[in-house]
Amino acid sequence: MCGEIMAVVPIRLGSVVIDPPLFQAPLFDYTNHFFRLLLRHFGGVGLTCTELVHARGLVELFTRRGQFPEQLWGVRDEPRPLAVQLWDNDPVWLVRAVSLVVAELAPSVIDLNFGCPSHRVSQRSAGGANLLKNPEQIGMLVEEAVKAAGTTPVTVKTRLGWDPTCSVAGRVAEIVEQAGAAAVTIHGRFATERMRGHADWQAIAAVKRYLRRIPLIGNGDIRTPSQAVAAFASYGVDGVMIGRAAVTTPWIFRDIRALLEGQPVPPPPGPDEQVELLLEYMNRLAELLGPHRALTLTQKFCCKFVVGRRGASKLRLVISQARSLPELRRVIAQVFVGEGPKG
């Protein structure tokens, strides 16, 4: 692959240019402000995105206390392009949240989630992926959000359908395009599969013929730079979105960009740099969210960060057993300079 330049075109979402067309997937409890800054540090990411935020919860919190939920902290001052992801099944709350976020935080993009299969979102609140049972309702919600967003582009992230008997991604893509969405991302699984099995990239590719104007972004199971490049070449997607591999390898977007440009993949950061970045992530998180939350979120991040490393399950155990930030700091310094856990 090295040496060949792959003709990948930047994506335009209204006046926002996504170049390269490489998207960071939203991951609840992972893709916070400092994680997104880490991605920016390495470069190559075209669009970063917040975790999903409940529209009604956001509006109620802002009305009561004049503040945004933790998931949106940092957004105001962060590098763009940046998307804020919202979910709700009620157009009134969605419109209020979109207007508020656009006015107060001015993100580059509003992304709407119609793919979350979690019990809280899809069952208890009949939002997220549950709405795949009713594509017309998705269309109505997108139309209202687009009106409320004004010139800020609204995109949609969804799945293949609720279950294999309800394969509606093409229909949903068609509907949201008509409703004014600027792009659609398809995670190639059904909601009932959650994260099991494999993402079906043939099914993602099949959505393309339902779209006339807006770009299709493919998502699911991309773990290496060459898989990302192959996704463009083999499935005709306009953009590629990456979630879990970005936590394990935050420099993956930089590496994909290099491959797309026909350059060799740069070496990964050395152990000292990795330790320094993890500690900076943890310290800055502690300043923003306090020690308790910083401990939990850094442990989660580190447990994914070690995926694929030698002795990963033992490393995960040591990381998750840390009971305080100083303890976790010692573990990080030990683990990531390659000494491995003691004992």
Stretch that binds ligand FMN, among 2-10, 113-121, 167-175, 262-270 (CB under 6 A): 113-121
Q: Restricting to residues 126-145, name those near ligand FMN by CB under 6 A.
A: none
Confirm or reject binding of residue 52 to ligand FMN (CB under 6 A): yes
In Å, how far from its chain's centre is CA 115? 12
Who contacts 247 (Cβ-Cβ below 8 Å, separation ≥6)?
27, 30, 35, 301, 304, 305
Q: Which stretch binds ligand FMN (CB under 6 A): 176-184, 238-246, 261-269, 309-317?
A: 238-246
Residue 111 in 3-state DSSP? strand
Indicate which single residue of 108, 219, 298, 299 sits in contact with ligand FMN (rule: CB under 6 A).
219
Indicate the helix (H) or strand (E) that contains 110. strand 109-114
Return the residue of 107, 115, 239, 250 that touches ligand FMN, per CB under 6 A: 115
Please say whether the dihedral angle defined by the alpha carbons of residues 316, 318, 321 and 323, taken in this order, is positive or negative.
negative
When binding is defined by CB under 6 A, the residue of 20, 26, 225, 250 that contacts ligand FMN is: 26
Stretch that binds ligand FMN, among 20-28, 34-42, 168-176, 230-238 (CB under 6 A): 20-28
Cβ–Cβ under 8 Å, residues 185 and 191: no
User: Dihedral of CA 128/129/131/135: which sign?
Assistant: positive
Q: Which positions are annotated as active-site residues?
A: 116
The CA distance from 45 to 179, in Å, is 27
Binding marks (x or -) toward ligand FMN, 57..96, rule CB under 6 A?
----------------------------x-----------
Q: Please tell me the chain's helix, strand, coil percentages from 3-state DSSP, rounded to the nearest 5.
A: 50, 15, 35
55 binds ligand FMN (CB under 6 A): no
Among residue numbers 303 through 342, which ones bind ligand FMN (CB under 6 A)? none
Task: State the nearest-atom distance from the C-beta of 217 to ligand FMN, in Å.
Answer: 10
Note whether 243 binds ligand FMN by CB under 6 A: yes
Closer of 36 and 157 to ligand FMN (Cβ): 157
- Taking the complex as a whole, the smallest distance from the CB of residue 157 to ligand FMN amounts, in Å, to 5
> How many angstroms separate the most distant Cα atoms in the chain?
60
| Residue closer to ligand FMN (CB basis): 152 or 155 | 155
63 DSSP 8-state letter: H
In the complex, the smallest distance separating the C-beta of residue 207 from ligand FMN, rounded to whole angstroms, is: 15
Q: Which of 46, 54, 324, 310 is nearest to 183 (CA)?
A: 46
Closest chain position to ligand FMN (CB): 243
Question: Shortest distance, CB of residue 16 to ligand FMN, whole angstroms?
Answer: 19
Q: What residue has token string 């970005």?
A: 246
Measured from the CB atom, the residue of 264 and 308 that comes closer to ligand FMN is 308
> Taking CB under 6 A as the rule, does residue 257 contact ligand FMN?
no
Write 199-202 long-range contacts (CB < 8 A, 24+): 200/160, 201/231, 201/234, 201/235, 202/235
Binding site for ligand FMN (CB under 6 A): 25-28, 51-52, 85, 113, 115-116, 157, 187, 195, 219-222, 242-245
